[in-house]
Structure formats: structure tokens, C-alpha cells
Amino acid sequence: MSAPVDRGAFEPRVLGLLCTHCAYACADNAGATRASVPAGLRTVRLMCTGRVEPSLVLEAFVAGADGVLIMGCHPGGCHYKEQNYRAVQRQRILLRLLDQCGVEPARCRFDHVSAAESARYLELVDDFVAALRRLGPLRLERRTRAHRPH
């Protein structure tokens, strides 16, 4: 399958926020092909990328993510009419906010995949992880905060 893991190398921790209809289904299909996905990718399923509020992304960085990858349906393919467009609009503002918080905007990506594009999904994940490797681990002072919700 894939090369043995080099335990010395930096393995970025990536949060994947995936809409259930296209992106999560696509990740499932990629899994069915037994492709190799970076172990640092951790996926969370949402009904729609329209649900992604900026605080979820900010908290992910606080909780240890080196990058956040949000994936939804293609433009025109949203299962809730046009909510992925709203997510795209929100993403633009979020990137500016990240910059102000001292997080490189390149650590948060938004992309579109259909359920059938597992090869493209794997490419997008690999490409993002490669970019995060180049950026190195996220250093955030606030990460010292307790993470457990209560």
C-alpha cells in the first residue's frame, strides 16, 4: 500500500469537516478503494458545510489541528440548494480572521468534491498535508488552554 511511516517526520494533524452528502460519501468511497489516507486526517461529519461556523475552525486550531480542510458539494450540487455558497462566503471572512489570529490562512482550505471523486479527494488531502508539512506545526500560545468541554 504505502511506504512505512517515518516516525521522525512531522505528521500534521488535520481536521476534515465534511458534508455528509458529497464529501463524507467521497471519503467513504476512497476508503472502499483501500487507498492510503494520512493518519493525521481526522474527519467530522456534518449535514452541510453551511453548518461550519468560524468558531468550530478556531477551536480546532486551539485543540491541536495544524490544518482544517472543509469539503462540500460542488457549486450547484448542494443538497440544500445553495448553502455551500454560503460556506464559501463565510470561508473568505474566516481566512482574514485567521490571519488576524496569527494562523496562516493557508492552514484552512475549502474545496468541493462529489461523492464520485475519490481520486480527487485523495489528491486534495495529500496536497493539503504536503502544504502543512512545509508550513510546519502550528504554534499557538493559546493551545495551553484546557481542551475538554464541560
Partner 1 sequence: MRTAVFYCKCGEMGGGRIDLERVARTIVALPEVASFHALELTCSSAGVKAMRQLLVDERPERVVVAASSPRELEPKLRRVMADAGLNPYLLAMTNVREQVAWVTADREAATDKAIAYVRAAVRRAELQVPLRPLAVETDPRVAVIGSGPAGLSAALALAGAGRDVVLVEQGPVLGGAAVRLDKVHPGMECGSCLMDPLVTGVLDSPRIEVLLLARLAGAKGYLGNFELSIARRPRFVVAETCIGCGDCVPVCPAVAPDPRPGELGTRRAISFAFPGAMPNVPVLDAQACVRSRGESCTLCQAACPVPGTIRYDEAPAVLERKVGAVVLAVGASLYDVGRLPALGWGRLPGVHTSLEVERMLSPDGPTAGQLGGRLAAPPRRIALVHCAGAMQAGHCDYCSVICCGVALKLGLALAERLPEATVTHVHRELCLPGPEDWALHERARAHARVSFRRYERPEALAASARDDGTAELAWGGRATERGAFDLVVLCPPLAPGPGHGELARLLDVGRDRHGFFAPLGPSTGHATSRIRGVMLAGTCQAPMGVATSVTHGAAAAGQALAMAVPGRTIEVDPIVASVDARRCSGCHVCVGVCPYKAIAFDQTTAQASVNPVLCTGCGTCVAACPAAAIEGAHFTHAQLLSEIREVLQ
Q: Choose one: 49-57, 95-103, 104-112, 131-139; the region binding partner 1 (CB under 8 A).
A: 49-57
Which one among 23, 52, 71, 73 touches partner 1, defined by CB under 8 A? 52
Nearer to partner 1, 134 or 143 (CB): 143
Q: Beta-carbon neighbour count of residue 136 at 10 Å? A: 11
Q: Copy the grid coordinates of residue 31.
A: 476508503
One character per residue 66-95, x = contact with partner 1 (rule: CB under 8 A): --------------xxxx--xx--x-----
Q: Copy the grid coordinates of residue 72.
A: 462540500
Q: Choose one: 45-53, 101-109, 128-136; the region binding partner 1 (CB under 8 A).
A: 45-53
Which one among 5, 101, 116, 130 touches partner 1, defined by CB under 8 A? 5
Which one among 12, 22, 23, 24 touches partner 1, defined by CB under 8 A? 24
For the chain, how many residues are written? Answer: 150
Q: Is 41 helix (H, G, I), strand (E, B) or coil?
A: strand
How far apart CA 84 and CA 101 sit, in angstroms, is 25
Q: Mind spelling out the 3-state secondary structure of 75-119? A: CCCCCCCCHHHHHHHHHHHHHHHHHHCCCCHHHEEEEECCCCCHH
Which residues lie near partner 1 (CB under 8 A)?
1-2, 4-5, 13, 15, 20, 24-25, 27-32, 34-37, 39, 42-48, 50-53, 55-56, 59-60, 63-65, 80-83, 86-87, 90, 147-149
